[in-house]
Amino acid sequence: MKVSKRIISYQISGESILIINTLTGAVDIINPQVYQLLRGDFLPENPQIDPEIITTLIKRGYLITNEDREEQVLGHITEAYAKTQKRLTFVLCPTYSCNLKCTYCFEGELTYDHSFMEKKDIDFVFAAIDELRRTHANRKHTITLFGGEPLLPKTKPLISKILDEASKRSLPIHIVTNGTHLGRFTKELNINKSLIKSCQVTLDGPKSIHDSRRKSTTGKGTFDLTCLAVDRLLDLQIKTTIRINADLQNIDSIPTLFEFARLKGWIDNPLINFMISPVLDHSCKKSYAYFVPEDELVGRLLQVTKENPYLEKFLELGVFKTIGHISAVIRGGRPFQPLLYYCEANNLEQIVFGPDGYIYPCTECMGNREFALGEFKPYLKLYDEIIKMWNERTILSMEKCRECDIALLCGGGCAYSALMVNGDINQPVCNRARETIFAYLGSIKDELLLKANA
């Protein structure tokens, strides 16, 4: 009888240890005696061990009686993924240009590119979308407007045409915008509001914090314009996500922002959703002064919510991929969903159309033609070998991940990071994934202790 190699443990107290089987999704609290049973690779026969405990450990996947059992479970997980309905999001970027110069923007100098799609390019985009929808007919298709900034005065005729073409195909639309020019698009948004499923804008804190981070190209703050955009969206009855990009600079001001939102009447508005999202550094350049590693950020965010309990319902830990599943089990009692891959870029669930005529697997790759999946004008041309490289990247295809005890929590990490840092999509960048898990468990230690003593 062998002990699973996919067990991670965390000492809650002298009498309680949390154990997690990252393959089966089991999460349990055990005593030191049971923990000692699981310390080795092999469990010898011992008549003093309670048979019921052994049975439970086998049932939960901590002990293995069959050498091939874990491979069989991995096979079942792979089959389940294959049967799950996939999405296919078409991300349309009419321009890489942006009227803001946010301090942490991952697009960097790409936003200095002031080229725009032309109206005929929109025809090429939708011809490509039609072909891809036929090829992937069993998927759920949506459109996301992105940039740069998609809602600029110069993009208005392009946005109108995109909305018209999407309407002809009954394709739902999500918009990611800074909101500063949203007022110019009120008519178009109102006409198509049944098609527009959500609009995301960013408020990074109270006015002084936001305006220091999200300035226009002329140096002016954008807090007031962003708030006006939220109010206009609510007047149009369009669901709105207010995103807060959290890092070392603004994390402590989040409660002040939510107090402002309460006074505005946004907190209890059913059309409003808040999303606290970490500022990430997938290129691992660490050039942004306020960047903080995920493990530190998780601890800081949970401390802020501990001091301001009403914020807890707005902190969706799923944005931290490594801990999202553990949190779902511990706090929500929801089933544990293992990750075979990190994000939608690894399963052709997202295709980004750039104004340069190329398509990309994710927004972080935009403008880097080395990572392009193909071209869309004058007709769709796919680079099959590049697509295969992205599609076949799972934790099962990477030697470093295949036997890793936390691989099913992190999904092998960001593929873009692997390319940027290691020059090889199958050489993962772990990016402190393990530290993030234990930082999270440490932050909820009191909660775990209550469960252990229950």
CATH 3.20.20.70 fits 85-353, yes or no: yes
- Nearest C-alpha neighbor of 34 from the set 46, 21, 55, 49: 49
Q: What is the spatial distance between Cα 321 and Cα 43, in angstroms, rounded to a whole number?
A: 33
State the pLDDT at residue 43.
60
DSSP 422: I
Give the per-residue pLDDT at 140: 96
The dihedral through the CA atoms of 91, 96, 97, 100 has a sign that is positive
Q: Which residues in the chain come in under a pLDDT of 50?
A: none
**CA 401, chain centre distance (Å):** 20
pLDDT at 431: 85
210 contacts 204 by C-beta, under 8 angstroms: yes
pLDDT of 1: 79
The ranges assigned to domains in the chain are: 2-80, 85-353
Q: Are 148 and 95 in contact (CB under 8 A)?
A: yes
Residue with tokens 């393959």, as numbered in its chain:
23
Q: Is the peptide bond before 47 cis (omega within 30 degrees of 0)?
A: no
Q: Please enumerate, as own/partner, the contacts of 204-213 that have beta carbons within 8 Å and a separation of 24 or more.
A: 204/244, 204/245, 204/250, 205/244, 205/250, 205/253, 205/254, 205/256, 205/257, 206/253, 206/256, 206/257, 206/260, 209/249, 209/250, 209/253, 209/257, 212/103, 212/249, 213/102, 213/103, 213/104, 213/249, 213/250
Q: Whole-model pTM?
A: 0.93
* Partners of 206 in the β-ladder: none
In our burial notation (b when 16+ CB lie closer than 10 A, e otherwise), range 281-305 reads: bbbeeeebeebbbbbebbbbbbebb
Residue 359 per-residue DSSP state: E
In terms of residues, how long is the chain? 454
**What Å distances lie between residue 125 and 133, 166, 288, CA to CA?**
12, 11, 34
Cβ neighbours of residue 382 closer than 8 Å, sequence gap 6 or more: 373, 374
Q: Each residue of 123-160: pLDDT tens digit?
A: 999 999 999 999 999 999 999 999 999 999 999 999 99
- 283 contacts 420 by C-beta, under 8 angstroms: yes
pLDDT for 393? 94
Distance between CA atoms of residues 331 and 312, nearest Å? 11
Give me the DSSP letters along 247-290: -TTTGGGHHHHHHHHHHHT-TT-TTEEEEEEEPP-TT----STT
β strands within 22-118, DSSP E: 27-30, 63-64, 87-92
Spatial neighbors of 170 by CB under 8 A, at least 6 apart, are 195
Place of tokens 């140096």: 219
Helices (H), 153-192: 156-168, 186-191
pLDDT at 259: 95
Residues near 283 by beta carbon (within 8 Å), at least 6 away in sequence:
106, 364, 416, 417, 420, 421
Q: What is the pLDDT of residue 311?
A: 87
Q: Two tokens at 143?
A: 């459109």
In angstroms, rounded to a whole number, what is the distance separating the alpha carbons of residues 26 and 340?
17
According to DSSP, the residues that pair with 221 across neighbouring strands are 215
What integer pLDDT is reported at residue 436 of this predicted model?
93
